[in-house]
Each structure stands twice: as structure tokens, then as C-alpha cells.
Structure 1
Amino acid sequence: MKKIIYLLILLSNSIYSQVFIYPDTLKYEMNQITVSATRYPENIIEIPYAVTLINEKSLMNLRGYGLDEILTSVPGVLAQTRAGNQDIRLVIRGFGARGAGDRSNYGTTRGIRIMVDGIPETEPDGRTSFDLIDLGAVDNMEVIRSNASAIWGNASGGIVNLSTIPSSNNYNLSIKSLSGSFGFYGFQTKAVTPITYGKIFATLTNTNFSGWREHSSSYRTLFNFGITSNIEDITKFSVLVLAGSNLFHVPGPLTKKQFELNPQQANAIYSQRDERRHNRLGRIGFTIEHNFDEANQISGMLFASPKFLQRSERGTFRDFTRYHIGGNIMFKNNSKFSNELKNHLIIGIDEAYQDGAILFYSLSSTNQRGSVLRANKREGANNFGAFIQDEIIFNEKISFIAGLRYDNITYYSEDFLISSYGLQSKSFSKLTPKFGLTYRFNQTQSIYANIGGGTEVPAGNETDPSSTYSQDQIYLLNPLLEPIISTTYEVGTKHLLAVSNSNLLKTASIDVAGYYIDIKNDIIPYRGGRFYFTAGKTSRIGIELGAELEFEQGISLKGAFTYSDNKYNEYLVDSVHYFKPNSFANYKNNTVAGIPRFFYNIGLSFQPKFLKDFFLNFSLNSVSSYFVDDANKIEVPSYFVFNSTIGINDFISITDKLKIRGFLTINNLFNTKYAASAFINPDIVNNEAIYLEPGLPQNIVISASILFE
């Protein structure tokens, strides 16, 4: 860690010693504002956390099906597609990596908070599905790579906030069509119209994908609608609606031999059971922000999200009927004690509750709902949080942030088939602090450091007791689990700069961060993840580099590099020695499963001046080999995947009111055979691990868009 700190200081000093100017080309970068990192608008240069902002231009030339398409370009973020649709594996600095066989998060992620327009998609237990996330409707994104539990609470090892509110206030209607390999087809309509003191916007997206692997077809329809309005310039009000229906079939993992012989095949059991997820859900949210005066503001948010989820999973047909409700209220005060001393104070509370019925049936001969009811229970979770944060700014150079948050998460479980259990509950509570310091050399350069706590309770499917094997007839909720507690130490530097008197480099942005994370009460899977136990201790150390360079000749280079070393400091387990009393395995000093040592993304773009609106882009995405089991015996091979895109970067005017644009992308340009993702701590059948999820071979996407203004 000392070497990382020294490197950052050396880099900051060397860059600061250069001669820079601040031309118009940097105006956008200098005004990049984040809301999620501190829960109020602030320039990213001033914030003592690692934050990446993604603008609308970066989102224009995407297939638009999965978050991996854009998040692979963010340092510290591992985003891997499972079958080429919205189901991805998402890890930020190791958070979200854990899993166990079939419980390796397919269909969801955990440990990372995901929000749409500031409203959580993450459920109270820390799990998040991607069912309502439409990249085509997103205007911009914020990614916080630092642990944000002190401000956002449970499962905030990283934050991804997507905004669907258009930056434009002008009337426009766009129609976009996409077509590609393996039966991929997408159609999207977006509209924005101004109203008095605000705007109305809507997006309708339909996507179909036959899939490359057997039993991997999917479709989805998503609708997004919103109204934003300013009332007398002192009150802002928004209504935000999401709705979706989607179905995706799960091809399942393969053994190494199956992967090498025929990666296109599906797992035979998954195909036989027609394992799939069919989800229909919606969400309505209301936000309000009122300014009492220039110094004092109050804001609030309410949301409700009904969900009807159906699955064929692990030999059962499952019905979930859930409702997820919640909101927050926050007070903010801005004080100016003198020209040299300012203060920002926020105090607030968050509340989220989810409950509903769960019915497990036998699987019929046609893989539909069978006639035998195997489970009838209720599962609920409540997450209450209260927080305070204060930021002191000295002379527009130094800022210090201190925050503290209290969280209480309670699980509820009731079995209606076995009434003797009764209604049971289990609560987890934790105080989480955070401190951060930033020094700004000027408007475009800063260095920072922070230390902060992290809290993550076990996800709902990790709270099952050992009754799976008829060993526990008392508890519905595992009494042995405790919250995962982490402490993050981070240093970093951010630079937005332009070089004077240069015929080569015009502008550059550089983001470097180093971190050390100490984790206690890590969750260990027993018996293939049939139940879990709190016992492990883990350490993670890493460095992240993000850079974007723009050259005079119309060439730009963008890169994101991540290196980390992740170790188990304590891990003593007996579950690998079934029927052998007093036998244990010690995995101390083993590498943490599911986290590559390094991964990177490099993009090279060429937009010649003589072809103003056209561009050509090449990108390389690479992931090193990594272990998928805690014993470090099963490994996923490394891979390099090249992609290329050619298209029109900005809309070309056909008439005064009609514009067009389009692009052509070739993914996996050299048809590389690789494992795009893997099951963690996989099941072993006949001495073979079933864990590899093959990535798509070479595939093409072509898109055309029409814009009416």
C-alpha cells in the first residue's frame, strides 16, 4: 500500500509541474457533476472517492442489452455476460464475487447497489435483478467504485446509478432499429416534449435474441416514462415509471471437456428442465426537492414496485409474488462562514421493505407448474437506515468529509406448510463511519484519501438453515450468520488537463486509485452452497487506472486497467470432508474465488477531420485467468476479445427537422473461443467441475436511427 501511495504522489507532482491551459474542449469534463457519491451535486474533482461518469455519447453505439457493454470500460469493475443478454456477473473491487454452484447469482447480483434515477433497484437484502434496466433509455451513468455503505447502507460495495432523465429540454422523437447475429433484433422509440416548467419523456424498447448457445433464447419489453417539473423555481417534482416483461432461458454451465468439445451446447439438466426466468414487474417513484432559501433544502422520495416472478429452477416450478416499497427524506444545509470556509451538512433516513409469497411446485412433464405444492412460505426483509455527513471546505483547496450511518436489516420468514415453525425473524444492525480528505491543486487536479466502513448482510438465499439436510428442524433463518464487515483504505488522484504548445496531445483525463480492503465475517458456502456460515477473513489490495487521451489528428485513446491481489486470511472449513469427523481444510492464503488478478479494456477511436461525422473504433477486452473454487484447484482461462465499430457519431441532417445516424459493430472480431463467465464454487459431478459459461463467438450488430426535432 505504501508503494501505491508513493506512486500516486509522484504522478500528481509530475503532472502538476507541467504547463497546462484550459481550453473549451475541457469545459464539459470540468463540469462533470456526481450526485450519488455524496447524495448532493458536487464536482467529481472535489470528492475523495473513486467515481466514473459515463455520458450519453458513450452510450450511443451499443447493442443495449446488458450492462457489461459499457461497464467493461470502467476501472475496478468486472462485468461479464453469461449468455449475451441482460443476465450479467457484476463485481466491483471483489464485492459481488461470491457464489456457490447454482446459487452463483445468475439473474441477479449482490453486494453492489444499483439505482435508476436515484431510486433503488437493489432489494433490502442486497440482491439486484436487471429486469428493469434499459441501456437504451439511459442518458448518463455514475459508477462509484469506493465502498459507499456510510452514505447508502447495506450492500454498497459499489454504486451504479443510471439516469433516464434526458438532458435535452427540446421536443424530439427518435426511432432506433437494431439487428444482428443469432436472431438478435431490437426496436426502440424515445420521445421528449417540453411542458410548462418541465418536460415529459418516454421510452419503449423491445428486444429479441435467439441466442448462440442451445437453450439461451430471450426476449424483453421495457417501458420508461417520466415527468419532471419545476414549481416556482424553488421546488422540483418528478414522477418516474418503469415497467417490464422478460423471459430468458438459462443454458447453464459446462465442464471443461464439454466446453472444449462443443461450447454451443447447453447443460443437459438445464435444458431438460427448461430452466428459465419469466419476470413481470413495474415501479413507480416520486421525488421532490424544495429549497427554503439559498442555504437550506429538503428532499424526499417514495417508490413502490410490484413483482410477479416465475422460474423453472433446480427441479421445481417457482412462483414469487413480491412488493417492494420504500423511500427517503433528507435535509441539506449549505453554510458559508467566510470566503475561505464553507460547510455542507446532510441528515437523512432511508426505508425499504419487501415482502411476499413464495410457492414451490413440482415440475410437470412439460416443465410447467406441477400439481404437488412443495413449499408455501412468506419471506420479507426490512432495511432502515439513518445517516449524517458533513463536509468542510477550506479556501476552495482542501475539503474534509466525515459521515456516520446506522443500519438495521430484519428478515422475516414463515412456513405455511409446517406451522410449528411460526413467524421467525432475524435482525442485523451496524454503525458505519467514513472519513475523506481532498486536496485540489486547481479546478482540474486533485489528490484524495479516505477510510470507511462497509456493511453487507447475507442475501436472502444465503440465510437458509442447515435444514436442507434435515439437520435443523427449529430455524427458518440460519442463526449462525452475521453481517459482513469491511474497512476500506483508499488513495487516489484525478486530473483533467490540456497540454499547451503541443501538436500531438490536446486533452487528457487521468484517474488513478489504490485501495486496501480488510473484510471480517466473510461468508463461506457449506455443502455446495446449500447453506452458509460466517467464518472467513479476507484482504484485497489493488490499483486502478483510467485514462482518456484526445489527439490533434482526430485520434482518441481510452483505457481502464485493474490489478488486485485478493487473499483469504482465515478460512477453516470441514464441509469438504463429508463423513470424516474432525477433518478440516485450511484455505488460508488461498486466492479469493471469482476475482481475476488483472483485467483491462483499451479503446482506440479515429474520427478524421475530413469525415467530420464518421468514426472507426477498435477495442480490446482482456481478463486474466482466475480460480472459481476456494481450494484454488479449478481455473478459468484468460482471454482477449477484440471488437470493432464503424458509424456516424452525430446525427446527420436530411432536412431541417429530420436527422439520421447508424453504426455497424463486429464483436469478437477474431472469433476467439473463451469462457465469458463462470459459476463460483461449482458442483462436482463424476469428479468434474461444472462451471464454464462460453462467450459469444464473432457476431454482428447493425443499427439505424431516425431523429425528428
Structure 2
Amino acid sequence: MPSRPPLTPTALYVGLWLTLAGTAQAQALQEVVVSANRQEQKTFDAPAAVQAVGQDVIGVAGPRVNLSESLNRVPGITVLNRQNYAQDLQLSIRGSGSRSPFGIRGARLIVDGIPATMPDGQGQASTISLPSAGRIEVLRGPLAQLYGNSSAGVVQVFTADGPARPEVLGSLDAGSDGLQRRGLQAAGQQGSLNYLVDLSDFRTDGWRQNSAAERRHLNARLRTEVSDQTRLTVVANVFDQPVSGDPLGLTRAQLATNPRQADIRSTEYQAGKDVSQRQIGLVLDHRLDGSSELMARAYAGQRDLESRLSIPLMFQQAPTAAGGIVELDREYSGTGLRYSRRTPLGEGQLSYSIGLDLERLSERRRGFINNFGVRGELKRDEDDSVQSTGVYAQADWAINEDWSAVAGLRANRVAFKVEDFYIRPGNPDDSGRARFSATNPVIGLTRHLGPDRNLYVNVGRGFETPTFTEIAYRVGGSGPNLDLKAARSTHVEFGYKARLTPAQRLDVALFHIGTSDEIVVAASSGGRTIYTNAGKTRRSGIEIAHSARWAAEWQTHLAFSTLNARFAEAFSSGGGALVSKGNRLPGTLDRQLFAELAWKPETLPGISAALEVVHLGRMAVDDLNTDRTEAATVFHLRLGWEQTLGAWTLKSYLRVDNLADKAYVGSVIANEGNRRFFEPAPGRQWGLGVSAAYRF
């Protein structure tokens, strides 16, 4: 008898679809409102690849600590939990940002209208409060360029509205490796004031050695209707992470011996990071008349960071070395103004917006010797600043019932300045400036094939400056690398959206991105990374999202993506080796899949269960493609319970992740100089969460 081929996750989902298709009933899916074009609209009507996850998904996806818990169900975005809270998640959209060993790169982060991405283009996902999030949107493709210095997408997080009746909620999450998260939240509506205040305390011993972490978080949003025409929103956020160890990556041999170990230098030099941040923002929305609106925002914040790197002591003492402890004292602020108007045009309606964004960041950067965890002598002392100015215009024209169009233009100016105070024999004055500018157009056309079918195409130019993290070091010298160029890209996207039935939704997007002067890792070692510009790169792929409610009790969701990310021309790597044309960009998954089967039995009110399948493709570890990870498929199971008893609402969930206890690599550190590329994923993990809300 011939052997049967293995059952892949895609085949499993297709088989399930065919099995349930015969019993599908008209249970309409809930539509989600998004703001892809800076105006609220339904996801089906947005002429772009955009998906959103709501509070119901965020609440059962895990302890609500990391974006990786819930965004794996969105195609086109990769969010890898590195099991390393010192270095944040590894988030990339359509392959952009996969090179980043620290923080979020290649995507804009926005929380309640306030940027969480700094004007140099780097953001921090750790400061996002997930327990208070109402929904998370992910926009990919050319329209993302209208948000500024980015590359391939925008992630927006919106704090939930307080309920009509005030409530107090307490929550507790526990899990493997000493994971604990305790939360307290007050939310409600008092007259014209809507409020939500959330306190959260998180800690974990970590799955690997030297990966323990602690976080404390306060997030508050107050919104008041000043008048029938004016609404004011105040957003305040305080974040403190006093403990986060960095276990570093592992070599192939270390991975095989013990994936839970930390490299010896990690413990020798007490590698890790301490960070705190305070931020406040104001957003004013004013309706001028029935057709026009004005939005103004202003925000300011302060961020302090100390990072301990595992650089051998002998290398730290070189005259041009910057030491092994990095201390950053950062202040940032920004303002924004947007005017929007709707007016009849021809058979349809024209909606347009014009706006201005001004952002500034200044930081005091100092470097010290890391004498096996003890701060030593000063090795770097400078003031850094960056200013970003963006002017944009966007128009959406509903031409008629069959056609609509979108067009936009954004002019960006980004200026970096470094003032060096550490001038010694062998370490010259490294003060300098760098300026970048670009004017990026976007244009798109949508063909409405009917009320339930949309076909669209978008084309746009992209602009991505280096960040201060990327210009921080240069090969063979002291001071910053101000010679790095900005990456420039052209994005083309074709999309199709269909409501197959009232209970089924299908989204398909095909894209191609061509980039020149791609910023790549030249060398990475001991937590310090040096960057350079490669030649041209090409990224292309397909993204599919399918959601269906087959009956009152059964629902499925599929998110599938492919990515072909390659160097389009040969270039010399940081080590002098020739990187061949056609090599894969390191850190990019060639494919990924999320599939879910959810069950809510009518005979057991309040009970829910779901089986999740996650498939991760392969990743190259360096530009030379000398090694790569293996593809992995893991299964997760969750159970939920919800009950209302008078004024009380009780909820609980139980999750078991990686049911089969599969060993695999969760992420890689691209071009790590000591070949410590691999960051292993944990084996079987359990998590339990309970909450109780009292409504007054």
C-alpha cells in the first residue's frame, strides 16, 4: 500500500472547511471598525490589507503581556516572542524589521493616536498595555507610508471604552516558569466623562537562565465631551521594568545540548536591561460643521534605560570602544494637526485630509566599562537629538457604485545631530549631523464587484531612515555611524475581499516590495550591533485571511502568509565575505500559518474551547545563509468560562501551549558574530487566568 503524505496544517484547515461547509448556517460575522485611512470605516471597505483583533481575542490569547499572544492570527505580520524581555519582541511586517535585535523596527506603533515609535523610526512594544486594549489594528502595504518614517506597516492599539455602568475589575494570571500577572482596573462613564484606569504587575522567572523579568504598568485614558462638537482625550502611561535578564543567543551546539541555558557571558557580565518610561498625551477632536473636522494632538515623555552588554573586558578597554554599559536618558515630544472634510464630487463623495506631524527626541548617551556587572570608567559621553517633520495629504474618492480611488502624498524631513563630549587620545571628536528627506506618493484604485466583493490595487513609495540604535556604532572607529543611508522602497499590492456568505469572510493580498540601500546587520556580538547598507532587496508574498461561523457553536479562523525575501544583488558583508544575489534575508519566515477551531456549546452557556495550530517556516540566520532554522508546527489548546451573577461577571481561561512539547527555534539573531544565532522557543507551557468584575 502506498504511504500517505503527511497532513499539513493547511490541509487540516481545508479538510475542516470541507467537513463543515455542508452544515454552514447564516450566522453573521461581526464587522470591525478600523482607521486605516485616518477615518473610521469597516475593514471590508478599507482599500488596503488591514485586520483587527478585538478585546475578546486579546483576553483569552494569554496573560496579556506580549503582542505575540494575539497578533499571530493576522497574516503578513510576524511577532516572535524571544523569551528575552531585555530585547523586546521581534516584530516584522512583510519582512521589514526582522533584522532588529532590539526594539521594534520597520513598523509604526501608535497607541490611542499617540506615536509609540520615536521620530528616528524605532518603537517599543513593551510599553503597550494589553489588559486595557479594546482592539489592535494591523495595516500593511503602501497606505502605511502616509504615517511617516516606516517601511511596511502600522500597528495601532486602542484602549477600550469604559462601560456605561462603572465597574471595578481584578485579574490574576499564572503560568509556567513562575509567571504571574496581577491587575486592577476601574472603568466607566460619569456624565460626559468616559474613563479607564488600569494597573498591572507582571513577573516571571523566565524559561531560560538569566531571563527573569519584572514589569509594572499604569495606563489611563480619560475622554470628555467638552461640547456637542468637541471631544478631549487624555492618555497617560507609566512603565517600569526594573529587572530583565538577557540570556543571549545560542550556538547550534549549545542549542542541541541544553536550549534553556544562557551563554556563559550572559551571567558573567549580568547582561540585561533596566528601563522606565513616563508619557502623557492630549488629543482634541473638533467638528467644525457637518462635513469637516479638526484633530490636534500633543504628547511628551521621558525614558531612562541602562543596558548591560556582554562584551569581553579586553575589547571594552580599546581607545575607540564605548564600554559595555549603555545609559540613555531620553526626552521626547510631538504635536500633530489634521483637517478632514467630506464633499460631494460627481456621482460620489470625496473625503480628504491634510496634516502636519512634528516630533523631537533628545537623549544623553553615556557608555561605561562593564566590569563583570559592575559599572566602571566612562567610555562614551554625547548628546543625541533627532527632529522629524512630516506634511501629508490624502484623498479618498467614492467615484460611483463601481469604483473608488485613493491618493496621498507625504513629505518627510528627519535630521540627526550628535554632540560628542568624550574626546581622548585615540578617540577623536565624533560630533556630526545627518539629514534625510523624501516625498512619497501613494495611489490606489478599487473595483466594487458588488456589495460583497472588492478588488483593489495600491502603489506607493516608502522611506526608512536609520535609527539611533542603528547609527550608534561603526566598524573600526569610535562614535556613531552617520554615513548610513536611508532605505527607499516601492510597494505594489493587489487585494481581494469577499463576503462569501453572511457568515464567511475572505481577504487575499499579493504584494511586491523593491528596496534600495536596505539597512542590514554588518556584525552583531555581545548585544552590540553594527549596521551597513546593502544593495537592493526584493520581498514578495501572499496573505490570506478567512473567518467563518459555521453554526451557532462553531467558528474557524485562518491566517496564512508566504514571504520570499531576498537580496537582489550581490554585496560585501561586514566581514568582507561576498553575499550572493538570491540569498534570503536573515530572520524572515518563508511562510507562517495560524488556524483556529472554536466551540461555544449552546447547552453549556459560558463555556468555550478552541484548538489552535501555528506553523512557522524556516529562517536563514545570516546574510551568507550558512545555516537556517527548521520549520515547526505546534498546537495550543484553550478553555474558557464566563458567568454573570447579579452585578458580578466572572471569567477564567486555561491555556496549554505547545501541546506536543515540540523543541524548535522561536527566533534568530541575524548575523551574530559568534554564531550564537538561535533563540529557542519553550516546550509545553500552561497558563491560567481569572478575573472578577463588579458593576455598580
Q: Is residue 202 of structure 2 the alignment partner of residue 216 of structure 1?
A: no
Partner in structure 2 of residue 416 of structure 1: 421
Cα 1:334–1:184 shift into 2, 3 Å = same
1:438 Cα deviation after fit: 1.5
For structure 2, the 5+ residue unaligned runs are 1-20, 312-323
Q: Is residue 264 of structure 2 the alignment partner of residue 268 of structure 1?
A: yes
Partner in structure 2 of residue 336 of structure 1: 344
Contact 1:22 1:498 in 2 (8 A): no
1:422 Cα deviation after fit: 6.9
Instruction: Give the SS at the match of 1:271.
Output: helix
* Inter-partner Cα distance in structure 1 for 2:186 and 2:364: 37
Q: How many residues align?
A: 652
* Inter-partner Cα distance in structure 2 for 1:564 and 1:525: 20
Q: Which moved more, 1:150-159 or 1:136-145?
A: 150-159
1:700 is matched with which residue: 681, 686, 691? 686
Instruction: Give the SS at the match of 1:538.
Output: strand
* Inter-partner Cα distance in structure 1 for 2:587 and 2:143: 22
For structure 1, the 5+ residue unaligned runs are 1-17, 500-506, 578-583
Deviations 1:623-661 (A, max 9, x none): 11221111111111211111100111xx4122x211211
1:318 Cα deviation after fit: 2.2
Partner in structure 1 of residue 672 of structure 2: 682
Partner in structure 1 of residue 367 of structure 2: 360
Deviations 1:438-484 (A, max 9, x none): 22234443111100111101121222464x423xx7xx553532211
Instruction: Give the SS at the match of 1:163.
Output: strand
Cα 1:681–1:148 shift into 2, 3 Å = farther
Partner in structure 1 of residue 13 of structure 2: none
* Inter-partner Cα distance in structure 2 for 1:332 and 1:169: 29
Q: Is residue 57 of structure 2 the alignment partner of residue 58 of structure 1?
A: yes
Contact 1:563 1:599 in 2 (8 A): yes
* Inter-partner Cα distance in structure 2 for 1:361 and 1:516: 44
Question: What TM-score comes out, normalization by structure 1 length?
Answer: 0.89
2:488 is matched with which residue: 485, 489, 494? 485
Contact 2:27 2:549 in 1 (8 A): no
Partner in structure 2 of residue 67 of structure 1: 67
1:368 Cα deviation after fit: 3.4
1:206 Cα deviation after fit: 0.6
Q: Is residue 200 of structure 2 the alignment partner of residue 205 of structure 1?
A: yes
Contact 2:309 2:370 in 1 (8 A): no
2:163 is matched with which residue: 148, 159, 168? 168
Contact 2:270 2:310 in 1 (8 A): no
Contact 2:547 2:557 in 1 (8 A): yes
1:241 Cα deviation after fit: 0.3
* Inter-partner Cα distance in structure 2 for 1:410 and 1:663: 48
Cα 1:586–1:308 shift into 2, 3 Å = closer
Partner in structure 1 of residue 659 of structure 2: 669
* Inter-partner Cα distance in structure 2 for 1:638 and 1:23: 37
Cα 1:50–1:678 shift into 2, 3 Å = same
User: Structure 2 matches for 1:451-466, cutoff 5 A?
Assistant: 451-464=459-472, 466=474
Contact 2:161 2:195 in 1 (8 A): no
AA at the equivalent of 1:606: W
AA at the equivalent of 1:204: L
* Inter-partner Cα distance in structure 1 for 2:573 and 2:111: 42
* Inter-partner Cα distance in structure 2 for 1:624 and 1:149: 26
AA at the equivalent of 2:454: S
* Inter-partner Cα distance in structure 2 for 1:597 and 1:558: 21
* Inter-partner Cα distance in structure 1 for 2:335 and 2:71: 27
Q: Is residue 139 of structure 2 the alignment partner of residue 144 of structure 1?
A: yes
* Inter-partner Cα distance in structure 2 for 1:274 and 1:558: 43
2:175 is matched with which residue: 158, 180, 186? 180
Cα 1:80–1:530 shift into 2, 3 Å = closer
1:527 Cα deviation after fit: 4.5
Instruction: Give the SS at the match of 2:70.
Output: helix
AA at the equivalent of 2:399: F
1:697 Cα deviation after fit: 1.3
Instruction: Give the SS at the match of 2:388.
Output: strand
1:156 Cα deviation after fit: 4.2
1:285 Cα deviation after fit: 0.3
Q: Is residue 286 of structure 2 the alignment partner of residue 290 of structure 1?
A: yes
Deviations 1:43-93 (A, max 9, x none): 222222100011111111122121111111110111111117582111110
User: Structure 2 matches for 1:310-709, cutoff 5 A?
Assistant: 310-315=306-311, 316-337=324-345, 340-365=347-372, 367-370=373-376, 372-418=377-423, 421=429, 423-464=431-472, 466=474, 468-470=475-477, 476-498=479-501, 507-528=503-524, 531-552=530-551, 554-573=553-572, 575-577=574-576, 585-648=578-641, 651-654=642-645, 656-684=646-674, 689-709=675-695
Contact 1:543 1:564 in 2 (8 A): yes
Q: Which moved more, 1:312-321 or 1:612-621?
A: 312-321
Instruction: Give the SS at the match of 2:56.
Output: helix
AA at the equivalent of 2:105: R
Partner in structure 2 of residue 44 of structure 1: 43
Q: Which moved more, 1:285-294 or 1:445-454?
A: 445-454
Partner in structure 2 of residue 300 of structure 1: 296
Cα 1:488–1:280 shift into 2, 3 Å = same
1:278 Cα deviation after fit: 0.8
* Inter-partner Cα distance in structure 1 for 2:399 and 2:277: 47
AA at the equivalent of 2:281: G
Instruction: Give the SS at the match of 1:616.
Output: strand
Cα 1:80–1:150 shift into 2, 3 Å = closer
AA at the equivalent of 2:128: I
Instruction: Give the SS at the match of 1:469.
Output: coil
AA at the equivalent of 2:228: D
AA at the equivalent of 2:168: L
1:363 Cα deviation after fit: 2.1
Question: What TM-score comes out, normalization by structure 2 length?
Answer: 0.90
Cα 1:242–1:389 shift into 2, 3 Å = same
Cα 1:429–1:228 shift into 2, 3 Å = same
Q: Is residue 91 of structure 2 the alignment partner of residue 90 of structure 1?
A: yes
* Inter-partner Cα distance in structure 2 for 1:430 and 1:517: 17
Cα 1:148–1:156 shift into 2, 3 Å = farther
Instruction: Give the SS at the match of 1:178.
Output: strand
* Inter-partner Cα distance in structure 2 for 1:176 and 1:67: 19
* Inter-partner Cα distance in structure 2 for 1:690 and 1:527: 12
Q: Is residue 114 of structure 2 the alignment partner of residue 109 of structure 1?
A: no
1:167 Cα deviation after fit: 6.0
* Inter-partner Cα distance in structure 1 for 2:199 and 2:607: 28
Contact 1:131 1:279 in 2 (8 A): no
Partner in structure 1 of residue 319 of structure 2: none
1:497 Cα deviation after fit: 4.3
Deviations 1:109-146 (A, max 9, x none): 11111111121111111111223112111111110021
Give aligned-pair identity as a percent.
24
Instruction: Give the SS at the match of 1:110.
Output: coil
Contact 1:45 1:445 in 2 (8 A): no
* Inter-partner Cα distance in structure 1 for 2:375 and 2:657: 38
1:255 is matched with which residue: 251, 254, 265? 251
1:149 Cα deviation after fit: 4.7
Contact 1:198 1:229 in 2 (8 A): yes
